[in-house]
Structure formats: structure tokens, C-alpha cells
Structure 1
């Protein structure tokens, strides 16, 4: 009786951790995309590294900045925008090999910013929520908006 109980307990804790980290990622994404919406980041010439630093400053210490990826793209219309989870590709060493775009657009641009995080997870007795290589779960927070006419 103890083995199934502890397996269920570990699975529940793992699932709770995933939801906590997903929520934290969404809140951080919301905070750092607001200056993009208003044009503050574009006027200051924000780079992808500066954006990542601002994002990491809003993440809780449980999330490592080294696992964060950002993809920012401009679209001609909301209906043409891509908000789906990306396909993550890996090199032979197991590292992410995707090349992400970073375009914050200009005034009145439709922007999609996807913030991705590879969260390490542990499977127990057939319960495994990993959806990526090396027992990791992809968390995704997406912000879709039309930039304000800031110019």
C-alpha cells in the first residue's frame, strides 16, 4: 500500500509544481510584454538579451534563466498569427537547436511573443508528464497584441 501511495503523492506534487511554474511564467511574460505594447522597448532599442534579462528578473528563483527561450514575431493579421507550441529540435548533445526570432515590431504592428521554458520533471511508476527529451516538460506563455501608435 505504501508504494502506490507515495507514487501518487509524488505525481501530485510534480503536477502541482508544473502548474505553479506555468503560472509564474505567464505572469512574468505579462509583465515584460507591457512595455512592448506601449512602444517603450522599441524606442529604447531593446535587444533579445535585454528582454531575457527583464523576463528573468520577474521569474521566481525556482525557474532557471538558462531554460528560458523567447520567440517574438510580427504578423500582418491576428488570423495569420502563430500561437501554437513550437516544435523543439535538439542537436546531438541534447541542446535546443532552434533559432528564435526577435522582432518587437513598430507602431500598430501585430506581435506574438512566445516565452518557452523547459522544466525538468520526474516520472514515477508510469506517470510521466515529460513532453520533451531528457525528461523535460515544455511550458509556454504567449502574448498576442497590437502595438499602440506610440510614434
Structure 2
């Protein structure tokens, strides 16, 4: 039995005036964008925080080379990496993920320094790390690398600079060894 025209108009008017549930519909439309933006902000913040931690560890570790302590103790690459790992916060998987590269250049060698990231043309990380702390007066570059895993990348926000979907974090310290009279260590 069809409703009379008058009661169907009243029903339609009541439906248009009823706004219960509109907040739920609006939230359902906006929530994916809001949470995507929130997670992207958190991820970028974590990348900046991890980069700052890596920079601090690099500066502290480079001081060992600059003052001749690493050369005087005859550190090997693994011993220097263990020293670095002792200063890295729980933020990194140091034993498997942090790469240490120490290269020395002759006195006044600032012009020949190459600090290009070790990423090849296929966007793969090329871990050709060396340990050559140099001798007194040499220019030394200490670099630490870490492949930071990304999570928000799967949602369309991509800050990866490696083909494996990770972000290569790099920290660099460049200095001239102090004239401490420490002879150069062997390079490895």
C-alpha cells in the first residue's frame, strides 16, 4: 500500500534535517589522509633523529682518529667499528647495518677528497669500505653509513634512495690529523 504523498514528503524532510551520523561519514572520508600524513610525519622525524644520532657518533669516533688514539692503539677496521658500535644507541643494528669508511689523503689533500655516496647507477648500496686513518698532518674523512628501513613507503610516501626501498643515512667528518707524531696505521 503506497504512502500518501503528504506523509512521504514529511518523511523526506525529516531525513534531510537529521544529521546524526554525518560526523562518522566525514571522518571515514578524511581518516585515511589524516593517518597517512601523520605516519609520514613520524617517519620523516625518525629519519632526522637517526641522522642526528649517526652524525654525533661520527664526530665522537672521528676524534679518536684525529687525536692519534686509534693509530696509537693500532686499531683495525673491525676494532674501530666496535668502538663506533659502543657509541651507537639502540636505534641501529650496528653489527650488521652500520658501515664504517675511513680514508686518508696527503697533507693539503682537501681538493682530492671524494665524498660521493656509495650508490651505483642501479640505486644499490656498494659497501666498498676502507680503513686508512693516516698519519700526523694527513687529511682524513670518516664516514658512517646505515640503510634505514622505511614503512610509510608502502602508503605512497617514498623517501627511499636505494633500490631495496631503504634510505641510506650518511654521516661525514672531515679533518686534519693533529701533529701528534703518531705514525700512520696500515690501511685495510
* TM-score computed with the length of structure 2 as normaliser: 0.73
- Residues 1:22 and 2:51 are matched in the alignment: yes
1:74 equivalent in alignment to 2:104: yes
Structure with higher RCO (Cα < 8 A, 6+ apart): 1
Residues 88 and 31 (structure 1), Cα distance of their counterparts in 2 relative to 1, 3 Å cut: farther
- Alignment of 1:49 onto 2:78: yes
> Contact between 2:102 and 2:143, CA under 8 Å: does it hold in 1?
yes
State how 1:1-151 maps to structure 2 within 5 Å: 1-65=30-94, 66-76=96-106, 77-87=109-119, 98-122=127-151, 123-151=153-181
- Structure 2 unaligned segments of length 5 or more: list them: 1-29, 182-188
Q: Report SS of the residue matched to 1:137.
A: strand
Moved more, 18-27 or 80-89: 80-89
Q: Confirm or deny: 8 A CA contact 2:97 2:147 kept in the other structure.
A: yes
Q: Which protein has the bigger helix share?
A: 2
Q: 1:141, 1:75 → 2: CA distance?
A: 19
Q: Larger radius of gyration, structure 1 or 2?
A: 2
Answer whether contact 1:69 1:115 (CA < 8 A) is retained.
yes
Would the aligned equivalents of 2:105 and 2:134 in 1 still touch at CA under 8 Å?
no
Contact 1:48 1:102 in 2 (8 A): yes
How far residue 57 of structure 1 moved from its aligned partner, in angstroms, is 1.1
**CA 1:69–1:88 in 2, change beyond 3 Å: closer, same or farther?**
farther
Cα displacement (A) at 1:134: 2.2
> What is the total number of aligned residue pairs between the two structures?
147
1:8-54 CA-partner distances (Å, limit 9, x unpaired): 00100000000000000000111111010011110110111111111
Q: Give the SS at the match of 1:79.
A: helix
For structure 1, the residue ranges without an aligned partner over 5 or more in a row are none
